Amino acid sequence: MKRTEITPVPVLYQEEVPMTEPDRQAYFITLLADWMKHEIERLQRPMTYHVQTFGCQMNAKDSEKLAGILEAIGYVEADTEEADFVLYNTCTVRENANSRVYGRIGYLGKLKQKNTNMRIAMCGCMMQETHVIDKLKKSYRFVDVVFGTHNIYMLAELLYQNISTRKSVFDIKEKAEKIVEDLPSSLKYSFKAGVNIMYGCNNFCSYCIVPYVRGRERSRAPKDIINEITELTEHGVVEIMLLGQNVNSYGKTLEEPISFAKLLQMIEKIEKLKRIRFMTPHPKDLSDELIDTIKNSAKICKQLHLPLQSGSTRILEKMNRKYTKEDYLTLVEKAKAAIPEISFTTDIIVGFPGETEEDFNDTIDVIEKVGFASAYTFQYSKRTGTAAATMSGQISPAVVEQRFSRLLSVVQNTAEQQAKKSLGKTQEVLVEELNIQTSGYVTGRLSNNLLVHFPGGKEDIGHIKMVTLKECKGFYYMGEAE
């Protein structure tokens, strides 16, 4: 079938298009939903979409919003990229995240040759970089719609433009203009959800591209957050993960400033909510008020993801992290003293420019002293435009590899030691899914985020059970429900 035969989109009367959001997008969704009905008739089948997410939980959350818009238009989700609308929500935090995307765009081009109804879209952090846009325009001309991190809410409008003009649409905003509330969203799980509390980052850690591609810090109004969570709990959600690049700075730029701890105290009051998680707090401004709030809460999980990055004060300074090795250790001690059952997880970068063996040993020392329950470990990746990219003393790949494998074994050791500590205890577990390997078993998460497998059935999914941890398998447990 030729491309020219597709249904034209309904004509748009400029004077009818609402100027304010979210009404404007709702208008485009309606136009496209109308178009979709005709397309389904023409094709004699549903039209499908596939959103592929790269990167962190912010991107995963954005993807739920994008999927919500596509579903409101009438697209049905497909498991693979063999779909009528494929969207890559990209990440650029490390070079390998970036190359994975390029590797796959070529494959999408081939799929498009087979399905003339297919549209390809790219969004997310990579798209905020000019060299990426240049490359797409030059080498991947079959991509239909491209937008960045600041205008994901505009998907319907951009898709409308693409269909009506039959030309590729590029719309990258330099800066975030506004926070758009009340757009449709499609939840990945029925019982747990991520909730943005703020966007962007002002910290400019010297290795990190995020502030450049996500813009400056903006906090959502407390009432919007509370309303969203309350609504989610009405639909069965019992656990939420509050999302922000530095949640400790939440609320500082609001008209009526409020602290993150105060926000948590407000969220705690939402009756049907059972568990609260958050990420990521920055060690430099983790307040006593926050430690107290966690201590006194019945719902906040007693687990802190507290990115260390390096244990060396010298490297931390070059990283612009604004804390020392001692500050970090003192903070951990303070939290442990207030909340004895607390567990810590972290992020660590190996091979930052100028890192000596002595610096690296400091990192190992902190890991052993804190006893992390788990750690995301990364090899330093040079990001063009960041301060660290031009620093002298870039470390050779061989040295990085060697330190990285030592790091992994130390982390594995401390993680196993921590996991063993809970053996024999009876704890709350939120059941997430049927166990894939063993029938008659379910898999759930402890407050500290570790997985437990235990006998159970479909009816347990989304519920909290008291489970005794019978056997520790390193990073997960086998248990038995009460």
Q: Which residues bind ligand SAH (CB under 6 A)?
A: 93-94, 207-208, 210, 245-246, 280, 282, 307, 309, 347, 349, 378, 380-381, 383
74: alpha, beta or left, given left = phi > 0 and alpha = psi -120 to 50?
left
Q: CB-wise, 58 or 263, nearer to ligand F3S?
A: 58
Neighbours of 391 (CB within 10 A): 15
Residue 92 interacting partner from ligand F3S, ligand SAH, ligand SF4, none (CB closer than 5 to 8 Å by kind)? ligand F3S
Query: Which one of the spans 208-216, 248-256, 370-378, 450-458 is the region binding ligand SF4 (CB under 6 A)?
Result: 208-216
Cβ 308 vs Cβ 278: under 8 Å: no
Residue 204 interacting partner from ligand F3S, ligand SF4, ligand SAH, none (CB closer than 5 to 8 Å by kind)? ligand SF4
Fill in the amino acid letter for 370: V
Residue 211 interacting partner from ligand SAH, ligand SF4, ligand F3S, none (CB closer than 5 to 8 Å by kind)? ligand SF4
Question: Considering the complex, what minimum distance in angstroms separates the CB of residue 263 from ligand F3S?
Answer: 21
CA dihedral 37, 41, 42, 48 (to 10 degrees): 60
Tokens of 291: 């430690």
Give the residue, chosen from 117, 149, 151, 245, that forms a contact with ligand SF4 under the rule CB under 6 A.
245
Rounded to whole angstroms, how far apart are CA atoms 210 and 233?
Answer: 31
Three-state SS across 135-194?
HHHHHCCCCCEEECCCCHHHHHHHHHHHHHHCCCEEECCCCCCCCCCCCCCCCCCCCEEE
Q: Which residues in 440-469 contact ligand SF4 (CB under 6 A)? A: none
Give the residue, chosen from 183, 201, 415, 450, that forms a contact with ligand SF4 under the rule CB under 6 A.
201
Strand-by-strand arrangement of the 145-147 sheet? 76-77, 48-53, 85-90, 119-124, 145-147, 169-171
Question: Considering the complex, what minimum distance in angstroms separates the CB of residue 313 from ligand SF4?
Answer: 17
Fill in the amino acid letter for 41: E
Rounded to whole angstroms, how far apart are CA atoms 316 and 246?
Answer: 17
Q: List residues bridging with 467 in a β-sheet.
A: 427, 481
Residues 6 or more apart whose Cβ sits within 8 Å of residue 20 = none
Should residue 241 be labelled a site residue for ligand F3S when binding is judged by CB under 6 A? no
Should residue 363 be labelled a site residue for ligand SF4 when binding is judged by CB under 6 A? no
Cβ 91 vs Cβ 56: under 8 Å: yes
Rounded to whole angstroms, how far apart are CA atoms 57 and 210?
Answer: 13
Element at 101 (helix H, strand E) = helix 95-114
By Cβ distance, which residue is nearest to ligand F3S? 55
Q: CB-wise, 201 or 467, nearer to ligand SF4?
A: 201
Binding mask 268-287 for ligand SF4 (x = CB under 6 A): --------------x-----
Cβ 318 vs Cβ 351: under 8 Å: no
Residue 383 interacting partner from ligand SAH, ligand F3S, ligand SF4, none (CB closer than 5 to 8 Å by kind)? ligand SAH
Element at 466 (helix H, strand E) = strand 464-472
Q: CB-wise, 59 or 443, nearer to ligand F3S?
A: 59
Question: Considering the complex, what minimum distance in angstroms separates the CB of residue 200 from ligand F3S?
Answer: 9
Cβ 335 vs Cβ 343: under 8 Å: no
Q: CB-wise, 97 or 111, nearer to ligand SAH?
A: 97
Should residue 204 be labelled a site residue for ligand SF4 when binding is judged by CB under 6 A? yes
Q: Which residues in 152-191 contact ligand F3S (CB under 6 A)? A: none
Q: CB-wise, 107 or 376, nearer to ligand SF4?
A: 376
Should residue 205 be labelled a site residue for ligand SF4 when binding is judged by CB under 6 A? yes
Q: CB-wise, 16 or 174, nearer to ligand F3S?
A: 174
Should residue 206 be labelled a site residue for ligand SF4 when binding is judged by CB under 6 A? no
Count of positions (residues) in the chain? 482
Residue ranges that bind ligand SF4, judged by CB under 6 A:
201, 203-205, 208, 210-211, 245-246, 282
Residue ranges that bind ligand F3S, judged by CB under 6 A:
55-56, 58-59, 91-93, 125, 210, 213-214
